[in-house]
Chains A and B, each alone.
Chain A
Amino acid sequence: METPFGKHHWFGNFCCAVAVLLIGLASGMGIADWISSMPTETLTSMGGARPTESSIDRTAWELFAFILRRNMTVFVVLLLGLVSAGTVTIVVLLGNGIAIGQLIGFAKGAGMSNVAVANLLLPHGVLELGALCVAGAVGLQGARIALRLPTLNRACLGSLRLGLVLAYGLASLSVAAGIEAFVTADYAESLRGWS
């Protein structure tokens, strides 16, 4: 990338996006620990909660479509940081980090081993979170765009290569959704049957 927005900053922005996600992840795990340490007497009466029918009766292909649509929405929303000086990107990355951190924290709190958590998250997570961090890196360019607003031109905006980013996001998230729907879901099911 040789133009003003691309040349020197994309890798720095990618690192920033990863850092924000990791901060969210650590916060989420901390929150999960904090919640787990609370008294839980009141929860015993609520043990009858069951997932709804719609969440159980999904075929693998429906699950694939569901995951892909949700992740693409997050991907597109992360790109909205371009028009909000990066605000949306930071908030959404932080929110997603907190959600994943809580998930990991609660799973570990429930006695799941590190290997099982890694098996559940890493195969699709590397591609999925990688794609989201790429979108985050692009979204964080919004801060620079806001500062350069009076001197913006078509060449500057073209250097963002949004078409390429969207194509990469779609490809990467499709593969990740495929792994999550066809591999991770089966693994999660086997863990449930085993416990």
Chain B
Amino acid sequence: MKALARLAKAPLLPVGFWLAGLVAFTVLAIDGLFVGANPVFVVARLTAYVTVGTLAAVTVAFVAMLGLACGMMLTWLGEPTNPRLIVVAMCRSYWWVGSYVWLGVALLAIDPPVALTALEMVEPHALEARIGGTAAFTWMARLRHVALAGFLVTVAWLLAQQSKPLNAILSVAFGAAALAALTTALGFLAGEPTPV
């Protein structure tokens, strides 16, 4: 039991849990939607895998940005902080994101997506419609805010172990605001220009 408790406190275990879940979810989702040896499906599968890989890496970067912002705010508030404390708090909060992804895996296993046909692939909104019609994806979209809130609350709780609770909450709020600003700016940059 003690060994299990010690394992649960290991900082990298939640990250591994999340990564394993993400791999399982990606394989189930992509290989469920794009089935067959048709080159169109091969290209779609490849593109989807590269996209998920990029998203996973960007997620790690965003969490690191959140950690940086939290650390900066804690330092500014005069709390004793160090990189290890921040890294451990971020990593251990991954239990939430990992659970969220594994829930998606369970939902996909119960109700797998119906594969797209080659003719559907050329229809502009067929993929969106198929994703909208799959219970696992719909529930994942609904629950993403719960996972995010759980993640942030856990970060605040873990930081509060070493600093004043109010300062920990303030640092997480600042980090979340900084991250929101960054994602909004990136979204604005990547978005289509408005027609003149």
Chain A residues engaging chain B, CB cutoff 8 angstroms: 31, 35-36, 38-40, 42-43, 45-46, 48-49, 52, 54, 59, 61-62, 65-66, 69-70, 72-73, 76-77, 80-81, 83-84, 87-88, 90-92, 95, 98, 102, 149-150, 152
Contact = CB atoms under 8 A, between A and B. Distances in A.
Given A35-B43, A38-B37, A70 B61 contact: no
Given A72-B189, A73-B190, A77-B58, A95 B46 contact: no
B60 A84 contact: yes
A110 B76 CA distance: 60
B191 A69 contact: yes
B42 A92 contact: no
B193 A66 contact: yes
A156 B46 CA distance: 39
Contact of A150 (B58, B83, B191): B83
B95 to A, nearest CB: 20
Contacts of A49: 122
Given A35-B43, A80-B58, A149-B83, 10 more contacts: A42-B38, A43-B38, A43-B39, A45-B119, A46-B118, A59-B196, A66-B192, A73-B186, A80-B61, A91-B53
Nearest to B192: A66
B40 interface: yes
Nearest to A139: B61
Interface of B: 37-40, 42-43, 46, 50-51, 53-54, 56-58, 60-62, 64-65, 68, 82-84, 87, 118-119, 121-122, 124, 186, 189-193, 195-196
A83 to B, nearest CB: 4
A39 B41 CA distance: 13
Contacts of A152: 83
Contacts of B68: 83
B191 A83 contact: no
Most buried by A among B43, B57, B68: B57
Nearest to B47: A99
A42 B40 CA distance: 9
12 contacts: A38-B42, A40-B39, A42-B38, A46-B118, A48-B122, A49-B122, A54-B192, A73-B190, A80-B61, A84-B61, A95-B54, A98-B50
Contacts, number: 91
Interface of B: prevailing SS:
helix
Contacts of B54: 88, 91-92, 95
A45 B118 contact: yes
Given A69-B190, A84-B64, A149-B83, A38 B39 contact: yes
B122 A81 contact: no
Contacts of B192: 54, 66
Contacts of B84: 150
A88 B60 contact: yes
A98 B68 CA distance: 32
A83 B65 contact: yes
A88 B57 contact: yes
Contacts of B38: 38, 42-43
Contacts of A90: 57
